[in-house]
Structure 1
Amino acid sequence: MHRSPWPRGAPGAQRVWSACLLLSSIPFWCLLLLPDGAQKLRWASRPFFAAWQEPPQRTHSAAGNSAHQGVDFGPLQPHCEPGQVLLILVTSAPGNAASRQVIRRTWAAREKPPPYQWQVVFLIGQSPGEGASRQIRQEQEDFGDVLVGNYLDTYRNLTLKVLHGVRWALSRCRPSYLLKTDDDCFVNTERLPEFLARQNPLRTGLYAGSVFAREKRKVIRHPSSKWYVPREAYSPEEYPPYASGIGYVLSLDAAARVLRAAESVPIIPVEDAYVGILAQRAGLRPKSSARFAKQNARWRVCNFRYLMVVHSLGAPEQELATRRMREARHACRDRPEVTRW
């Protein structure tokens, strides 16, 4: 006869905490199991450290290592205005304050209220350093655009970072579309919200970005690689089609389907490939588009009537791209406008 591991009559929160301890090697499920009101998980003082760390580091569990104990950020979190067309989730790291400041003064800055509402939120994990934690708290108080997840901020935890951001967006913001991107990318905030609101032909089931060719989708088995995935974590030798993590757009329904799929698909530490795995499980097919540029080429002004995301830009390039984006409003009106992905 099967005997339940939970004491009869145990409160629901106690059962969830017990489940989290049992699943401490998969901390994202703790994020999914605990309700927002239970222990303020997003801002809890003891983070659930991820199963994936930069090799050759060992895994930290939720129960141990008080030297790496997180910081209680209290109720601080970004505010979402209802009815937004686009929420831009930007993955960043505690030490990348300069990159966030560049974004705030370039493509995330608004000269006037936009006709199609959008918002930028930076996704950051926990840092072991007390000084870094204070700096992130101050940054959130100053700008109100930082969401801190309850996981150690490492490259191998990027999957947790993105899943946490999507979960928060679905529960608190519910925009029509989400864009996930990185803090070394430019986003065309002049064109993308308008394109999504007026011209985008795929209103539901949308998962769009720069999709990797098949030869670029092989699973890396070398333990020294930052993209290493052991066979026991993901057995196929090739990932399904997926969009590059430089930037991909999900419609609200597609984001919800991806998050539901994550409840039954084991997590791997390659964020964009994992989203592709979830999309396949959810019945979504990625839409490949040249509007997402993996390389920072010498783009002309009128290219910014078409490009939506450009990867690998430092501060001077972000400023130049933003100037050209704004010049394109008037300088390129005589050029035919592309209205497809």
Structure 2
Amino acid sequence: MPIKDSISIVLCGGAGQGIQTIEAFLTRLFKIAGYPIFATKEYMSRIRGGSNSTEIRISSHAVAAFTDKIDILIPLDSEALPHLQGRITAETRILGEKAKALPTEGMVFFDIPFAKIAAEIGNPVLVNTVASGAVAGLFAIAPELIHESIRQFFAAKSQQIINQNLEAVERGYWLGMELRNSGQILLDMPVTSAIKDHIIVSGAEAVALGAVAGGCNFISSYPMSPGTGVLTYLAQYSQNFPIVVEQAEDEISAINMALGAWYAGARAIVTTSGGGFDLMTEGVSLAGMIESPVVIHVAQRPGPATGLPTRTEQADLNLVLYAGHGEFPRIILAPGNISEAFYLT
């Protein structure tokens, strides 16, 4: 594999297989190691099963967007390769268990016994940690940095679990290093100390932090993904700032509570998604009539109606622009990256 300045790693498996755990560990590890990262996920509307994937972009410079290409693919079940077939190219290197992933002719596949190693250590769940170690080995990240990251990541667990994960990541690491040292997969990107003090946040967290920085002290919402993350994040830290948090019985109640809060002198925000915002349009008109400020966070997801709860789509701008009857001023801010999500909020 030629040296690149941007590598796309995709992890794919069924819901419940721990894809998000691998993402959470690897993004933090790569950031600490000095690589700018960007991660995005797509998942089915299922608690178990389906075919979910996470993409992690590692780069020598700042990256802030999804890419269709896949450089390294970790399939954890038999549905992963068919699901991502349209994105797999001759340049894609696939690391997995041949008997489980079922690669087709023409794919560049490296058979790695993730499950066998996890079973030998004593816990099948450790497949994720073995896979994480293999990816870290491809980049030759310092072992002591990996070990410290494991200890921090599993700090709330028992010492036995920490030790098992340390062994799992170590064994996966040397498998990745073997592929690297043999020249079969060669990744060599410069690291930078410039991101040492950077923080890793999601889009929802950036919006929530921006709201806090802007003086928000009240949020009323009815949960609707993908907007719920703002509500839960502000609720999690409501005692620190402080912020009044109210989970309303529906979206109509939520926006009217926010209007009441503004009328009483609070700085309120409402978070929802396209289908929930539909129900708020009468409240939007009320805000226009009584000339009350109100801040509404609309996280976009595919419609119509309740649409696809676990997908995202940029399709609500016209809805927001023309919502409510009558003419009154409104400001619509559409952030294009994490930084804008914070500062525009």
Same fold at TM > 0.5: no
Q: Highest CA radius of gyration, 1 or 2?
A: 2
TM-score tier by shorter-chain length is: under 0.3
TM-score (norm 1): 0.25
TM-score (norm 2): 0.25
Of Structure 1 and Structure 2, the greater helix share is in 2
Larger RCO, structure (CA 8 Å, separation 6 or more): 1
